[in-house]
Structure 1
Amino acid sequence: MSETMIDVAQLAVRNYFAGERNEMLAILAVSVVLALSAFALYYSSGSGLAKGFLITTLVCAGLMSATALSLMVRDGNAPTNLTVAIGSEQAPQAIASERDRVAVVISKYKYYRYGAGVLGAIALAGLLLSSRGWVHGVAAGLLLLVVAQVLIDHFSERRAHLYHEQLSAWKSS
């Protein structure tokens, strides 16, 4: 690999992981805002809907935050280790390994969409089949999770596809 190709590959790695980190930080920030908003709604109304929404929002915010934090920890040294490997004689193996890892990540997005669809269907069923406020609050919280999942995965999947294409281009170089 030429010096220019190495620089381009290392930049792609740094950009990909920076995007992932920024997304995780956004998830953490939005989780806090949503939790505070749900608390404010419950505090101001105390209704069953607000209680169901609060509980669902707190559980979802907790799960999303835990996932974001674990991914940030997992990815902590990955960009540095990978850029060092790309700058060494191990570049072809490092790029191939990373390309394979990203291909697996990309293959999972359809299952995330299936999961979001199932949660959305459960939420809509709750809205249609019940007139209880707490059920509607849980449904609203689940629908909020579905929207968040769709938005997060849209940008994450686009970033992963671009990164995979860049990694694949170096395979043929």
Structure 2
Amino acid sequence: MERLDPQAMLVAVQTYFKGERLEMFSIVLIGALLLIACTVLYLGTRDGFSRGFCMTVALAVALFGGTALWLLCHDPQVASALLSAVHSAQAQQAFAAELSRMQVVIDQYPLYRLAGIAFTVLAVVIVAFVRSPLWNGVAAGFCLMFVALLLIDHYSAQRAHTYMRQLSAFVEP
């Protein structure tokens, strides 16, 4: 890839963090809608399956939503520092640090996928061997978590790899 000029790097930073922000808003919104749907399901049935499902969904929403809210607060500071540094004497140092940070982010994706697979295997084991509506609801919630994780990671990883290539093209070797 050809070396990026500072203006192109500004656009790359803005594009990456805009995508992150939209994803985090989507996670929070979808989480809220799932909680509403679970509440309606539980109030309509008041059975063990809906209780197990809703407990798992609530836990997933707390985990994913909490992370999303934290990133919504944290990412603007990172983006602002990078945007300020792009034309400064410290640009190479700032973007080299960002390149390292993004490598850590990218290195985490296989671990997230493994965790999702583990929850799915656990769900299959529960459905295969446990005849409890509560636990079957938990298993259904685990499956939903895996779908959410795959969806989130697909777009997040795609965006991170593109940004990483742009960072590499900006930072001098």
TM-score interval w.r.t. the shorter chain? over 0.9
Aligned equivalents of 1:60 and 1:107: distance in 2?
22
1:36 aligned residue: 36
2:114 aligned residue: 114
Aligned equivalents of 1:96 and 1:85: distance in 2?
11
2:21 aligned residue: 21
Matching of residues 1-173 of structure 1 within 5 Å: 5-172=5-172
Query: After alignment, is 92-101 or 159-168 more displaced?
Result: 92-101
Aligned equivalents of 2:40 and 2:90: distance in 1?
54
Aligned equivalents of 2:97 and 2:59: distance in 1?
35
Could you tell me how far 1:91 is from its partner in structure 2?
1.2
TM-score between the two structures when normalised by the length of structure 2: 0.94
Query: After alignment, is 73-82 or 109-118 more displaced?
Result: 73-82
Could you list the runs of 5+ residues in structure 2 that have no partner in the other structure?
none
Alpha-carbon deviations, 1:65-121, whole Å to 9, x = none?
111111111212211110110111111111111111101110111111111111111
The number of residues matched between the two structures is: 170
Could you list the runs of 5+ residues in structure 1 that have no partner in the other structure?
none
CA RMSD in angstroms comes to 1.3
The list of structure 1 runs, each at least 4 consecutive aligned residues, that deviate by more than 4 angstroms after superposition, is none
Aligned residue identity for 2:155: F
TM-score between the two structures when normalised by the length of structure 1: 0.94
Could you tell me how far 1:25 is from its partner in structure 2?
0.4
Aligned equivalents of 1:110 and 1:62: distance in 2?
22
Aligned equivalents of 2:132 and 2:18: distance in 1?
44
Per the alignment, in what secondary structure is the counterpart of residue 77 of structure 1?
A: helix
Aligned equivalents of 1:128 and 1:33: distance in 2?
30
Query: After alignment, is 90-99 or 27-36 more displaced?
Result: 90-99
Aligned residue identity for 2:53: F
Aligned equivalents of 1:62 and 1:135: distance in 2?
20
Aligned equivalents of 1:57 and 1:113: distance in 2?
18
Per the alignment, in what secondary structure is the counterpart of residue 108 of structure 1?
A: helix
- Tell me if the contact between 2:48 and 2:134 (Cα under 8 Å) persists in the aligned partners: yes
